[in-house]
Structure 1
Amino acid sequence: MKLVFCGTPEFAVPVLDAVIAAGHEVSLVVTQPDRAAGRGMETHISAVKAAALRHGLPIVQPEKIKNNLEFRAQLESLQPDAILVVAYGRIIPDWMLQLPRFGNINLHGSLLPKYRGAAPIQWAVANGETITGVTTMLLEAGLDTGPMLLAEKRAIAPEETAADLFESLAKVGARLMVKTLAGLACGEIEPVAQDHSQATLAPILTREDGRMDFDRTAQVLVNRWRGFQPWPGAFTNFRGKKLVVHSMKVSDARAVATGEFEVRDGHLLAGCGEGTVLELIEVQLEGKKRMSAADLLNGYQVKSGERLGL
């Protein structure tokens, strides 16, 4: 097929590589504009742009696309068979949806209709799911509401983080997109409408999602920490300063007051909801380097009964 590929982060790169390897013609790569980031505000290109440069593909980086007449004329002149959209980061306007004969095909990081929205991989892990996957679908005007094409399941390991899962699902998704294009080309795939009554949302993450609420159970807090990697992570307050928790696990200890530290046999425990207990393993106090919980105990003389979140 003759394709236009729209994508931005690393998650989209395996799909681009795979469709090229499968023999499809990528006539144009559309990605977000270069951004200044970091302390030095250096200009950074997207992972998809870097991949497109490696393949020697034409690239366009429009700031806006809905009413961009130049961009519209460029796509209309190409007359692609399909437009692939993988974590592009822009809402696709109606004129783009109607342009290619096979439509705009999106790779979504969940088993639709569950986890529609901007952060499906993160919320699946944060909510303690044990199975997730990827879905190819036809885009329409609604948020991830279009008919499904193919899906593939993938188990989530108990220790796996969202960062781990991103890499794995990107590879699964790359294979699935190639399979989807082949099925559409030979007429073997019929789009299937989603059951909208089963839809759940996966909204964009905010910094506050990482704030630890010790009324939640220890397992819920661990799942949220796993889901919110690498950002916003998990944090609370201790002695008036932000305390980031880089590593934690559910403890089988008992009788720790909710929202309080307990020091037992050199272990730093925190009381959580329903009588459950969390063990903090690696932490970082505001303005300090990462350290083991043992170093925090020794360096700051943490005492049992000290409150968290204050």
Structure 2
Amino acid sequence: MFMLKIVFMGTPDFAAAPLRKLLASEHRVTAVYTRAPKPKGRGQVLQKSPVHELAEAHNIPVYTPKSLKRDEKLQEEFANLDMDIAVVAAYGLILPKRVLEAPRFGCLNIHASLLPDWRGAAPIQYAIWKGDTKSGVTIMQMDEGLDTGAMLLKGEVPITLDTTAQTLHDALAETGGDLLLETLKHVEVGTLKPEKQDDAASTFAPMLTKEDGKIDWAKPAAEIDCQVRALNPWPGTYTYKRDGKRLKILKGHVENGRYIIDLLQPDGSKPMAWKDALNGKIVTEGEEFT
């Protein structure tokens, strides 16, 4: 089995999973690009990304540019790295043409959807929110478009009535790592045939906002259930009592065409079961929310 020299570009937990599998493989990760540390918590302490911490634990050089788009020196620095291929997973920066074309075998992207479905920033959440029965990972050859490159391999993951964004995220991260290693087996010998995406069949998953979490109780119960599961844990779903107090809706189910709340969280309180909220007079039976 041949060894590829790889530059890995990614930031969150979704990217750390395939990086971990690369590090355990016969391939060699020569450098890692990730987003710069960000201040977090009350103390605003700078926190490194999961990918950053994993790379440092394996003594891999880490680069944290704010942008690669217009800085020719940074682009040249990337092009001069010791690499055969670059692997990108939820990196968070746009890659210019010079970067995309620098590696001998180009740049591969691990995208968390079955392209051309759900191009964009929130494919995991939108697959659940819109009622899809399956999701998956696509390994694609990157071009200058937004998730528009030729597809190399796909792997499916089912979506059930218990699936949340968190559980699907974790399953797709593991699938992505396995699919990446399978793709790399074929790279040097050229046994994968790139498949062009059908742009006319594409759907878009834009970045989520907190406002996406407000529940519209006029919607069908099944749609509300999909929304609650899709936006768990972030940005989360919520509603308002008639007195203006906000309730986070953490979990529920559909019963006889109605959405039944199982777990909720009043602002400033811990999560609680619906029956406990009733007993504590936080909500009342038959209460309508806005």
TM-score when scaled to structure 2?
0.94
Residue deviations 1:95-132 (CA, integer Å, cap 9, x gap):
11111121110000010000100011111111121111
**2:227 aligned residue:** 224
Shift of 1:192: 1.0
Identity %: 38
Which whole-Å CA distance do the structure 1 matches of 2:80 and 2:140 have between them? 25
Aligned to 2:27: 24
Question: Are 1:106 and 1:139, in contact at CA under 8 Å, matched by a contact in 2?
Answer: yes
The residue that corresponds to 2:265 in the other structure is 284
Alignment of 1:1-16 (within 5 A): 1-16=4-19
In structure 2, the partner of 1:263 is: none
Q: CA–CA distance in 2 between the matches of 1:196 and 1:175?
A: 27
Alignment of 1:200-279 (within 5 A): 200-238=203-241, 239-252=243-256, 276-279=257-260
**Counterparts of 1:1-310 in structure 2 under 5 Å?**
1-238=4-241, 239-252=243-256, 276-300=257-281, 302-303=283-284, 306-309=287-290
Change (3 A) 1:301 1:131: closer
Q: CA 1:93–1:303 in 2, change beyond 3 Å: closer, same or farther?
A: same
User: Structure 1 residues 93 and 305, CA, compared in 2 at 3 Å: closer, same or farther?
Assistant: same
Contact kept in structure 2, 1:79 and 1:99, CA below 8 Å: no
Deviations 1:129-184 (A, max 9, x none): 11111000011111111111111112122201110111111111101111111111
Structure 1 unaligned regions, length at least 5: 253-275
1:182–1:294 Cα change, 3 Å: same
Q: Who wins on radius of gyration, i.e. which is larger? A: 1
Residues of 2 paired with 1:87 and 1:105: CA distance?
A: 12
Distance 1:120 1:301 in 2: 35
Query: Is residue 114–residue 136 contact of structure 2 (8 Å, CA) maintained in 1?
Result: yes
Aligned CA distance change for structure 1 residues 194 and 295 (closer, same or farther; 3 Å) = same
Distance of aligned partners of 1:107 and 1:301 in 2 relative to their CA distance in 1, 3 Å threshold: closer
Aligned residue identity for 1:281: D
Is 1:110–1:133's contact at 8 Å kept on the other side of the alignment?
A: yes
Q: CA deviation at 1:301?
A: 6.6
- For residues 303 and 53 of structure 1, the distance between their equivalents in structure 2, rounded to whole angstroms, comes to 52
In terms of mean alpha carbon deviation, does 300-309 or 186-195 score higher? 300-309
Task: Determine helix, strand or coil for the equivalent of 2:80.
Answer: helix
- Matched AA of 1:216: K
Shift of 1:290: 2.1
For 2:178 and 2:37, the matched residues in 1 are separated by 28
Match of 1:258 in 2: none
**CA-to-aligned-CA distance 1:181-211 (integer Å, 9 cap, x gap):** 1111111012110011110111111111111
What residue identity is the alignment partner of 1:234? T
Distance of 1:242 and 1:301 partners within structure 2 = 11
